[in-house]
Structure 1
Amino acid sequence: MAFASAASHRNAIADINVTPLVDVMLVLLIIFMVTAPLLDQRLPLALPQSTERARTEPRIVELAAEPGDVFALDGRTLAPGALQAELVRLREAEPGLALRVAIAPDADYQTAATALAAADRAGISNLKLE
Structure 2
Amino acid sequence: MAFAAVRSDQGSMAEINITPLVDVMLVLLVIFMVTAPLLDHRMDLTLPRDTSRPPRPPVIVALEVAPGDVFRLAGQPVAPARLQALLESQLRDQPGLVLKLAVHPDADYQSATTAMAAANRAGVANISLD
Q: TM-score, normalised by structure 1?
A: 0.61
Structure having the higher helix fraction is 1
Partners of 1:118 and 1:69 lie apart in 2 by: 14
Runs of 4 or more above 3 Å deviation: none
Q: TM-score, normalised by structure 2?
A: 0.61
Deviations, residues 29-51 of structure 1 (Å, cap 9, x unaligned) = xxxxxxxxxxxxxxxxxxx7522
Matches within 5 A, 1:1-130: 50-130=50-130
Deviations, residues 95-123 of structure 1 (Å, cap 9, x unaligned) = 10000000000001100011000100000
Shift of 1:125: 0.9
Partners of 1:81 and 1:118 lie apart in 2 by: 9
Partners of 1:73 and 1:123 lie apart in 2 by: 16
Deviations, residues 54-107 of structure 1 (Å, cap 9, x unaligned) = 101110000000111110001000000011100000001111000000000000
Partners of 1:96 and 1:129 lie apart in 2 by: 17
Question: Mind listing any 5+ residue stretches in structure 1 that lack a counterpart?
Answer: 1-47
CA RMSD, Structure 1 to Structure 2 (Å):
4.0
Aligned residues: 118
Letter matched to residue 71 of structure 2: F
Shift of 1:52: 1.2
Shift of 1:53: 1.7
Partners of 1:104 and 1:73 lie apart in 2 by: 14
Letter matched to residue 127 of structure 2: L
Question: Mind listing any 5+ residue stretches in structure 2 that lack a counterpart?
Answer: 1-47
Partners of 1:68 and 1:80 lie apart in 2 by: 11
Partners of 1:109 and 1:50 lie apart in 2 by: 46
